[in-house]
A and B are shown apart, each in its own frame.
Chain A
Amino acid sequence: MAIPIVTAQELVEPAEPRAGVLGAVASGLLSNRKALGGLAILGVFALVAIFAPLLAPYDPHSLAFDQLLGPSAQHLLGTTGNGQDIFSQLIWSTRESLLLAIVAGALATLASVLIGVTAAYLGGLWDHVLNLFTDVFLVIPTLPLMLVIAAYVQSHGVWTLIAVITITGWSYGARQLRSQALSLRNRDFLEAARVRGERTSYTIVFEVLPNMTSLIVAIFLGAALYAVLAAAGLQFLGLGDNNDLSWGTMLFWAEHNGALLAGAPLWVLAPGICIALLGGAFALINYAFDEVSNPALRAAKRAKA
């Protein structure tokens, strides 16, 4: 008896052809207004950062101008208390602020993934130990911890900030990742990988993690948002390198010079709005991501329509 053939015509054709999970998410995001808004903002900032030398009218450090000028045609946002052009500073600051957000966010996410997924997969005693570790960091209040670390460490610079943000920002994501990894652990395809002889390390990296990309991206977006605000906060308090060009340090100097009282509100408002916009961009993309990857949220939207 011949083995009955299952022909390709019987393939279940999906209603919307899609090239896998990532493709679906990408196309979903691109059709979502929130995501488009967030991506647009990010895109603008990225371009500004890249083309800063072309876009900034003056050298941001140049002290050549009169101090505390109001906005005008030559100085779109006025000048600082030291005679620097605010607009140029703003543009150049985009680089460091964006860098901080993305790098610190990524490192924090990496740490979350390593600790969360390992805890879930190793189980047993290791799980308990790593959990305890995570819980401790989760419970410590972040702001005081950040201040203590930043004040204690001698060198102040971008990397110190990134380190502090990573140390205080990884624990929240680790919890979530561990939960999801635990629930995945019993799925048959992971057992199938194990039974066919895959090494545990391979399984974690190539079988478990790809099924967690949704959550990992969401955690990254959250971590980046946290990084934007934390970096700004630390720099504002003077715990970054005050000679660096970034929105947070601009705020520091504005405060230092009593900008609001001196009648130069734009010196405070401009970097403040940029920080809010960048943070908001990450938040928008995060919301949109949630909607795209969680069908329940989508259905609710349609029912209202």
Chain B
Amino acid sequence: MATERAGLPNAVTSEPIIEAAGLTRHFRIGGPLSRRFLHAVDDVDLVVRRNEIVALVGESGSGKSTVARLLARVYKPTRGEIVYHGRPLSAMTSRRDRLGYAGRVPMVFQDPYGSLSPVYRVSHGVIRALKLHRPELSSSEREQEAERILKSVGLQPPREFLNKYPHQLSGGQRQRIGFAQALACRPELILADEPVSMLDVSVRIGVLNLMADLRRTEGISFLYITHDIAGARYVADRIIVMYAGRIAESGPVEDVLANPKHPYTQLLLSAVPDPRAPISLPATSEVAEPPRVIDPGEGCRFRYRCPYAIERCSNETPLLRPLRPAHDAACHVAT
């Protein structure tokens, strides 16, 4: 896989599937007359191109899941725009447009135990997806296609799996069905929202490998949302680190991990336990405050925990700026 990474075009050459500019989503909290807003996502610029896996990394409260839902059109952006192959999503309002987009950019969910309806056989979701997005198929063609898809996610023999109920499958198998449902639509980009966090450790690698293989054999891109940096490194080409609703740092995964520029990224990396690394240096004393996302105001949201914060950090929100080739960070202090 290391060699595959090396062969990929280094950024801007491949065509973008989806581009987000200034993506913002606020939620009103405290009732319909309240003036307080939760800034789940603020000013996010994002691009996912053909044939690439982008990891969106952050802790809970960072806004990464909200970004995924904005891209999946579950929420409408408060501000900003999402563009799909040049067409803004706000212009795609007809049922046909919406269905088409849903097929091209489907989502895989985190909870293997909740993502499949317990009253139907496992084939239900896959067949429904085929009915909706590939209406030209006849009933028997659909069955065949469903079997082909299950094979491609590694579930053999497919017919036996299709006839099972969700409670008869393990967590890892259910997640594969989740991917199968997404694949039924012939997607370009799969939004994977923490697909392995609820799986056993030994099963996770299998699903991550599945993602990498689907990219390699079917040319599908992934937006892999996770809080696990090690898993992100394993599977992604580019990484975007979010904190408190804003992007802290983004760039090629190896470069960001080897040269983290944003203090939050540095903190994250120092905290990741690595069994093979020697016992690491003690972390700086951590106040461990949750990020402030309710009416945060101007200034860097990480300043309360940042060992390098200067006065400017309280007054001016840092914007993403390039610090290395294709590697940006939003920090006043980073060089």
Give B115's nearest chain A residue, CB to CB: A188
Interface: A192 (CB within 8 A)? yes
Query: How would residues 110 to 145 of chain B score, 1 for a CB under 8 Å from any chain A CB and 0 otherwise?
Result: 110011111111000100110011000000000000
Across-interface contacts of B258 in A (CB, < 8 A): none
Stretch from B46-54, B155-163, B227-235, B306-314 at the A interface: B155-163
Q: Does B59 contact A (CB under 8 A)?
A: no
Give the interface centre of A11, A187, A196 by most chain B CB atoms within 10 Å: A196
Contact A197 B119 (CB under 8 A): no
Contacts of A22 in B (CB 8 A): 119
Identify 12 residue pairs between A and B in the complex whose beta-carbon atoms are under 8 Å apart, listed by A's number: A4-B154, A5-B154, A6-B156, A8-B160, A13-B168, A189-B117, A192-B115, A195-B72, A196-B106, A198-B128, A210-B120, A211-B117
Q: Is A141 an interface residue (CB 8 A)?
A: no
Question: Taking the complex as formed, is B82 at the interface, i.e. its CB lies under 8 A from any CB of chain A?
Answer: no
Tally chain B residues at the interface, Cβ within 8 Å. Answer: 50
Q: State in angstroms the CA–CA spacing of A198 and B164 once bound together.
A: 23
For residue B83, CB closer than 8 A to chain A, the reply is: no
Partner pick for A197 among B103, B165, B209, CB 8 A cutoff: B103
- Pick from B119, B154, B170, B176: contact of A20, CB below 8 A: B119
A255 contacts the other chain (CB 8 A): no
Contacts A14-B167, A188-B115, A192-B181; A4 near B206 (Cβ below 8 A): yes
With A1-B209, A10-B173, A13-B168 known, 5 other A-B pairs at CB within 8 A are A4-B154, A192-B125, A195-B72, A196-B132, A198-B132
**Minimum distance in angstroms from A28 CB to a CB of chain B:** 15
A3 touches B154 (CB 8 A): yes
Inter-subunit contact A188/B110 (CB<8 Å): yes
A residues less than 8 Å from B244 (CB atoms): none
B73 to chain A, nearest CB (A): 8
Q: Which one, B103, B118, B132, B168, contacts A12 given CB within 8 A?
A: B168
B213 interface hit (Cβ, 8 Å) = yes
Q: What is the CB-to-nearest-CB distance from B67 to chain A, in angstroms, rounded to a whole number?
A: 15
> Measured between C-beta atoms, what is the minimum distance from A8 to chain B in Å?
5
- Which residues of chain B are within 8 angstroms of A244 by Cβ–Cβ distance? none
How many Å from the CB of A205 to the closest CB on chain B?
13
**A168-203 Cβ-contact flags toward B at 8 Å (1 or 0):** 000000000000000000011101111111100000
Interface residues of B (CB under 8 A from A): 72-74, 98-99, 102-103, 106-107, 109-111, 114-121, 125, 128-129, 132-133, 152-157, 160-161, 164-165, 167-170, 172-173, 176, 178, 181, 185, 206, 209-210, 213, 217
| Bound Cα distance A10, B209 (Å) | 19
List 3 A-B pairs, minimum CB-CB distance, nearest first: A197-B102, A188-B115, A188-B114
Contacts of B170 in A (CB 8 A): 10, 12
Contacts of B176 in A (CB 8 A): 6
Q: What interface size band does chain A fall in?
A: 20 to 34
A88 to chain B, nearest CB (A): 46
What residues on A are CB-neighbors of B153 within 8 Å? 3
A7 proximal to B (CB < 8 A):
yes
CA distance A7 to B115 in the complex (A): 22
A96 in the interface (beta carbon within 8 A): no
> Chain A residues with Cβ under 8 A from B106's Cβ?
195-196
Q: Is the CB of B181 within 8 A of A4?
A: no
Determine whether A122 belongs to the interface, using a CB cutoff of 8 Å to chain B.
no
Q: Which residues of B contact A207 (CB under 8 A)?
A: 117
Instruction: Assess whether A4 is in contact with B74, with CB atoms less than 8 Å apart.
Output: no
User: Which residues of A sit under 8 angstroms from B173, Cβ to Cβ?
Assistant: 6, 10-12
Let me know if A11 and B157 touch, CB within 8 A: no
The answer, among B156, B169, B181, for a CB contact under 8 Å with A196, is B181
With A and B bound together, what is the CA distance between A7 and B206 in angstroms?
13
Q: Is A269 close to B, CB under 8 A?
A: no
**What is the bound-complex CA distance between A105 and B58, given in angstroms?**
52
Chain A's closest residue to B119 (CB) is A210
With A3-B152, A3-B209: A11-B118 Cβ-Cβ less than 8 Å: no
- Whether, in the assembled complex, A40 has its beta carbon less than 8 Å from a beta carbon of chain B, the answer is no
Closest to A209 in B: B119
Q: Are B102 and A189 in contact (CB under 8 A)?
A: no
- Contact of A20 with B165 at beta-carbon distance under 8 Å, contacts A11-B160, A207-B117 already known: yes
Shortest Cβ distance from B150 into chain A, in angstroms? 10
Distance, CA A95 to CA B153, complexed state (A)? 57
Query: Given the complex, which residues of A lie within 8 Å of B129, measured CB to CB?
Result: 196
A7:B156 contact, CB within 8 angstroms: yes
From B98, which residue of chain A is reached at the shortest CB distance?
Answer: A197
A21 within 8 A of B: yes
Chain B contacts for A187, CB-based, 8 A: 114
Give A4 to B205 CA distance when docked, in angstroms. Answer: 11
Residues of B close to A191: CB separation below 8 A: 74, 107, 109
| B172, closest chain A residue (CB) | A6
Q: Are A197 and B133 in contact (CB under 8 A)?
A: yes
Output the residue of B99, B117, B209, B217 with the most chain A CB within 10 A. B117
Q: With A5-B154, A6-B173, A11-B169 in contact, do A210 and B117 touch (Cβ < 8 Å)?
A: yes
Among B118, B178, B209, which residue has its beta carbon within 8 angstroms of that of A4?
Answer: B209
Is B102 in contact with A196, judged by CB distance below 8 angstroms?
Answer: yes
What separation, in Å, do the CA atoms of A262 and B310 have in the docked complex?
A: 101
Report whether A188 and B111 are in contact in the complex, using a CB–CB cutoff of 8 Å: yes
